[in-house]
Structure 1
Amino acid sequence: MKFPITPLALALMAGPLCAQSTDTEKRIADLEKKIEKLTKAESKKEEAKESGVTVKFGGRFHLDAVQFDGARNRLPAGTFMRRARISFKAGFGKDWAAEGDVDFAESSVGIKDMWLGYQGFDNTLIQIGQFKAPFGFDTLTSSNATWFMERSYSDIWTPDRHVGIAYQTWGTRWMVKANFFGQAIDDTSDAQEAADSNTDSTGLVKSYKIIDNHGWGYAARAAFTPVMKSAAKAIHLGVATVTRKPNAAAPGVYAVDFSGRPEQNKVAREKFLNASVTNVDKWSQYGFEFVGVWGPFSWQSEYQQTKVFRRGTQMQKWDGTKLVATSAAEQAASVIDHKFDTYYGQVSWMFGGQRTYDQSEGLFGKVSPSKKGALEIVARYSRMNQDDLTAVDPVKGGIAHNLSVGLTYYLNKNVRFMLNRTHVSNNENAMANKAYSPTGSKLPYERFDIYSARVQVNF
C-alpha cells in the first residue's frame, strides 16, 4: 500500500508548490515593475534637479500678547503680530540655490533674506545677496527655533541682515564662515528717503543730502565641536568677530546707536538702553560661544564685547539743519574711544522631544516632538552694559539685568505655544524717555515684570 500512496502524496504536494511558484514569480515581476517605476521617477527628479528649477514655498506667523506689571513708566500692554512671513527656497540645477523671506508684520512690507548661493563644491556654500552676517549664536538662530519669544540683549547690536557676499565651509566637527557686507536693504532705503526729504512745506531745510558712502563691514565666525557623539549629544565652542563702518547719515555725524528694548516685542516701543556715539570711525565686536545638547538637556551662552573707535578731532557737528563749529570741550570729547559688553546664559529641559545640533551651520535646529508633542522648560539670565563712564565724554547708556523663565508646548514640528515671564532690573542710567513717565521726568532704577504669550505657526 505504501508504493501507490507515495506518488499520490507527491502529486498532491506538487500542486500547491507549483501554485506557490507561480505566485512568487508574479510577485517578483510586480516588484520589478515598481522598482523600475521608482527608478524612473528618481531619474526624472535628478534630471530636474540638474537642469530645471525647483521651488518650495513656506511661511510663518507669530502672534503675541504682552502684559507689563510693576512699571512706573506707562508701558502699554496689548497684542502684536510679531512676524508674518512668506518665504521660498529655489534650486537652479544641482549647484545653485536661492532663498527669499518677506515680512508683512506691522502693516508694512520688509525684505529679510534674499540671496543666491553656489554649492557646487563639497561642504561649501557661497552666498551673494541679503542674509545674516555670521555673528551671534542667538541672532543666527531662526526665530522658529529660539527658546524664548525674544532673543537675548545681545541681539540689540549684532549686525543681523546685510547685503553682501559670504563663503561658508564645514567638516564633521567644524565650520567657518566669512562675510563682507554693506548696509541692509531697509537701512539703505530709509537713509535715502530721509536724506531726499530735504525741506518742509515752507522750504526750511530739515534733513540733508547723502554725500558719504554707505557703511560697510566684514565678519567671520568659526565653530568647533570637541564632543560630537550624535546630533543629540554635542558640545559646541564658537568664536566670532565683526568690524563695521557707520551707515550713511547726516554730514559729519558718523553715528552708531546701540539703544534697545528689554527683551520684549514692540507692543511697548520704549528703549531703556540708550548708548549712542557720534564721530565714529568704526566699531569692532568679539563674541564667544559655549553651547551644547545632551539628550533632554540643552544649554546656550555667549559673551560679546564692543569697542567703538573715534575719528580724528571733530571740528564741525550737524545741528539738525547744517554743520556748525564745535567747542573746545566737544573737540576733546570727540576722540575718546568706548567699550561695552553683554552676556547671557540659558538652559532647557525637554519632555517628549529632542533638540539637535547642526554642524554645517554651527547652530541648533528645530525641536522634533513625539507624536504626543513635547514640553520644554527654559530659564535665562542676561546682562548688557552700555555704560562707559570715562573721565572725558562718559557714555551713560545704562546697565540692564533680566531673569526669564518660559514654558513651551510643541504640538508638532509646525505649531508651538509659548509662555514667558521676564523680570527687568535697570540701573540709574537705563531710563525710558520722559514722555513715558507720569511725572514728566525720567525714572531711574526701573524694575518690572513682562508676561507674554505666543501662538507660532510655521510651514
Structure 2
Amino acid sequence: MWLILCLPVVVSADEGLDKQRMYELIKQQQKLLEQQQQQINELRDIVLKGQKQQVQVSKKLDKTERKVKKIARSSGKFSVSKKGLRVQSKSGDFSFRAGGRIHADYANYADDVTQMGSGAQLRRARIYFKGKLFRDWAYKAEIEFAENGKVGPRGVWLAYNGWKPVTLTLGNFQEPFSLEEMTGSNNITFMERSLINTFAPSYHIGLGAKGYGRFWSWSGGVFGDAFKNKDDNIDNGWGIASRATFAPILSAKKLFHIGFSSEYRQTDTGNQARVRTRPESHITNRRLVDTRTIKNVDHTWLFGSEIAANYGPFSLQGEYIHSQVARLQAKDLGFDGAYVQGSWFLTGESRPYKVKNGTFGAIAPLHDYGAWEFATRYSWIDLNSKDITGGQESNVTVGLNWYANYNVRFMMNYTFVQAYPNRNGINESPNIFQMRGQVMF
C-alpha cells in the first residue's frame, strides 16, 4: 500500500530531471549555432575582402598590361628567328634585318686527261642587311667573304614599292634570266647549277622593274657592268634583259610553271666575248669546255625557255638556252645547252614556289628528323660553232640532300662527266664526288 502511494511522487521527480537536461542541451545547441554563425560571418567577411582584393589586383594587372603594350608600340618590334635578326619601328614604316649563309664544300676528282685537283673550299660566306625605309622603299646590301679570299659586294640595291604590284629597283642585282639563276643558292637542288648557267648574265648594275599577279610574274631592266665581273660573261657594254613566268596550276602540292627569258647585250671597248664553264663543281678552276676569246663581237643575244612541275613530293625542272654571238667581220656564232632534273622528297615535303618571283623557296621539313631528298640531273652544252671549237660536254648527276631543319642542309653529289671532245679536241670522262655543309640564317 505504501509503495503504491509513493510511486506518483517518484515519477514526478524523473520528469523534472528530463526537462532540466533538455533545457541544458537546447541551450548548448543554441550556443554552438551562435558560434557557427559567427564563424560563417567571419568566413564571409574574408571572402568578400578577398574578392575585393582580387578585383584590385585584376585592375592593376590590366593597367600594367596596357603600359607594357604601350611601351611595345612605342619601341617597335625586335625578333630573332630562323630567318635572322629583325627590328621594326612601331609604325612598320622602317625595318632592318640581318642574315647570312655559309657553304663549305669538299670535292674528290677521278681525273682523266685534265688534272682538276681535289680539295675543300669555303664556297660562300655572306652576310646581308635589308629592310624598309618610309614604308614604300626597300634596300639590301650583301657582302661576300669567300670569293678567292677577297671581300666584296654582291647584291646592293634600293627599290621603290609604292606602285604595287610594280617594283622599281636600282643598283647591283641579278638580271632577270633563267629559273635556275634566279633561284637562290640556298634553295637549288644540287650543289652547283647546271652547265648552261654559264650563259646567264647574273649580277650587273642597272635599273629594273617587276610586277606579278596571282599566277604570273614579269621583270625587265637595263644593265651595264658589275661591281665584280663574272668571268663567263662579256666584261663591258650594256644590255636589256627580261623574263616572264606563268603558273596556270598552283597550289601547295601541285605546280605547273613555264617561263621565257631574253637578253640583248652590246659590247663595249675590246669587242670581245668568252664562254666557258666548270664541270658543275667549283673547287676546281679547270674548264673542260672553253671558247677562249672571241674577237670582233658586235653584240650577243640570249634566249631561254624553262618549265617546272610539282606533284606532291615529286618535282621536275628543265631549261634550254641559246646564245647568239654577232661578229663584225665573220659569221655569227651559235651556242646552246639544256638540262632536265627531277627530285623526290622521301619524307613527303614539296618544293615551295614563290609566284611573285617565279622561283622556288626554302624547304621546311615536316618532321623532327628533317627532310630527305633524292635527285638526278642530265645537262649538256655545245660550244662548237663555225670556226670556234670550245668543246661539248654532258653530265649526269645524282644527289642526296638532308635538310636537318629550315636552316641547315647537307648535300652529296656524284657526277659522271663526258667531254666529247673537250676544249682541246680530246675526249675525256672524269667523275666527281662532292659534299657540302650549308647554314643559312
**Coarse TM-score class (shorter-chain normalised):** 0.7 to 0.9
Question: In the TM superposition, what whole-angstrom CA distance separates every residue of 1:214-250 from its partner, at most 9, and x where no partner exists?
Answer: 40001011111110123x422111111111122544x
Out of 164, 168, 177, the residue aligned to residue 135 of structure 1 is 177
2:320 is equivalent to residue 299 of structure 1: no
Out of 77, 91, 105, the residue aligned to residue 118 of structure 2 is 77
2:377 is equivalent to residue 368 of structure 1: no
Out of 211, 217, 221, the residue aligned to residue 175 of structure 1 is 217
Q: How does 1:9-88 map to 2 (within 5 A)?
A: 34=65, 37-38=68-69, 41-42=72-73, 45=76, 48=89, 53-88=94-129
Deviation at 1:54? Answer: 2.7
2:242 is equivalent to residue 225 of structure 1: no
Residue 351 of structure 1 corresponds to 346
Deviation at 1:16? Answer: 9.8
Q: Distance in 2 between matches of 1:375 and 1:410?
A: 6
User: Tell me, what secondary structure is at the counterpart of 2:176?
Assistant: coil
- TM-score normalised according to structure 2 size: 0.79
Please tell me whether the aligned partners of residues 94 and 135 of structure 2 are also in contact (alpha carbons under 8 angstroms): no
Please tell me whether the aligned partners of residues 50 and 93 of structure 1 are also in contact (alpha carbons under 8 angstroms): no
User: Tell me, what secondary structure is at the counterpart of 2:76?
Assistant: helix
Out of 262, 286, 300, the residue aligned to residue 279 of structure 2 is 262
Do the aligned partners of residues 39 and 241 (structure 1) sit closer, same or farther apart at CA in structure 2, a change above 3 Å counting? farther
2:381 is equivalent to residue 399 of structure 1: no
2:319 is equivalent to residue 289 of structure 1: no
- TM-score normalised according to structure 1 size: 0.77
Residue 216 of structure 1 corresponds to 238
Do the aligned partners of residues 31 and 347 (structure 1) sit closer, same or farther apart at CA in structure 2, a change above 3 Å counting? farther
Amino acid in structure 2 at the alignment position of 1:246: T
Amino acid in structure 1 at the alignment position of 2:371: A
Larger Rg: 2
Structure 2 stretches lacking a partner, 5+ long: 1-36, 78-87
Question: In the TM superposition, what whole-angstrom CA distance separates every residue of 1:237-270 from its partner, at most 9, and x where no partner exists?
Answer: 1111111122544xxxx111011111110x2211
Amino acid in structure 1 at the alignment position of 2:202: D
Amino acid in structure 1 at the alignment position of 2:434: S
Please tell me whether the aligned partners of residues 310 and 350 of structure 2 are also in contact (alpha carbons under 8 angstroms): no
Q: Distance in 2 between matches of 1:417 and 1:127?
A: 34
Residue 428 of structure 2 corresponds to 446
Residue 288 of structure 2 corresponds to 272
Amino acid in structure 2 at the alignment position of 1:184: A
Question: In the TM superposition, what whole-angstrom CA distance separates every residue of 1:186-207 from its partner, at most 9, and x where no partner exists?
Answer: 2399x9xxxxxxxxxxxxxxxx
Q: How does 1:429-440 map to 2 (within 5 A)?
A: 430-431=422-423
Greater RCO structure (CA 8 Å; 6+ sep): 1
Q: Distance in 1 between matches of 2:90 and 2:52?
A: 42
Deviation at 1:21? Answer: 12
Amino acid in structure 1 at the alignment position of 2:243: R
Q: Distance in 2 between matches of 1:258 and 1:20?
A: 83
Do the aligned partners of residues 26 and 344 (structure 1) sit closer, same or farther apart at CA in structure 2, a change above 3 Å counting? farther
User: Tell me, what secondary structure is at the counterpart of 1:94?
Assistant: coil
Do the aligned partners of residues 348 and 32 (structure 1) sit closer, same or farther apart at CA in structure 2, a change above 3 Å counting? farther
Deviation at 1:354? Answer: 3.6
Q: Distance in 1 between matches of 2:353 and 2:191?
A: 20
Do the aligned partners of residues 408 and 120 (structure 1) sit closer, same or farther apart at CA in structure 2, a change above 3 Å counting? same
Q: Distance in 1 between matches of 2:237 and 2:221?
A: 14
Out of 398, 405, 413, the residue aligned to residue 420 of structure 1 is 413
Q: How does 1:322-337 map to 2 (within 5 A)?
A: 334=330, 336-337=331-332
Deviation at 1:24? Answer: 9.6
Q: Distance in 1 between matches of 2:211 and 2:106?
A: 40
Do the aligned partners of residues 26 and 184 (structure 1) sit closer, same or farther apart at CA in structure 2, a change above 3 Å counting? same
Structure 1 stretches lacking a partner, 5+ long: 1-7, 192-212, 314-333, 432-441
Q: Distance in 1 between matches of 2:166 and 2:428?
A: 48
Q: Distance in 1 between matches of 2:246 and 2:66?
A: 42
User: Tell me, what secondary structure is at the counterpart of 1:447?
Assistant: coil
Deviation at 1:157? Answer: 1.6
Q: Distance in 2 between matches of 1:188 and 1:451?
A: 25
Please tell me whether the aligned partners of residues 391 and 425 of structure 2 are also in contact (alpha carbons under 8 angstroms): no
Q: Distance in 2 between matches of 1:44 and 1:237?
A: 45
Q: Distance in 2 between matches of 1:294 and 1:214?
A: 43
User: Tell me, what secondary structure is at the counterpart of 1:425?
Assistant: strand
Please tell me whether the aligned partners of residues 74 and 90 of structure 2 are also in contact (alpha carbons under 8 angstroms): no
Residue 318 of structure 1 corresponds to none
Deviation at 1:134? Answer: 0.2
Q: Between Structure 1 and Structure 2, how many residues are aligned? A: 387
Q: Distance in 1 between matches of 2:70 and 2:319?
A: 48
User: Tell me, what secondary structure is at the counterpart of 2:228?
Assistant: helix
Identity of aligned residues (%): 31
Do the aligned partners of residues 19 and 158 (structure 1) sit closer, same or farther apart at CA in structure 2, a change above 3 Å counting? same
Residue 333 of structure 2 corresponds to 338
Amino acid in structure 2 at the alignment position of 1:182: G
Q: Distance in 2 between matches of 1:225 and 1:17?
A: 67
Question: In the TM superposition, what whole-angstrom CA distance separates every residue of 1:158-193 from its partner, at most 9, and x where no partner exists?
Answer: 10000001101111111110111001112399x9xx
Please tell me whether the aligned partners of residues 355 and 368 of structure 1 are also in contact (alpha carbons under 8 angstroms): no
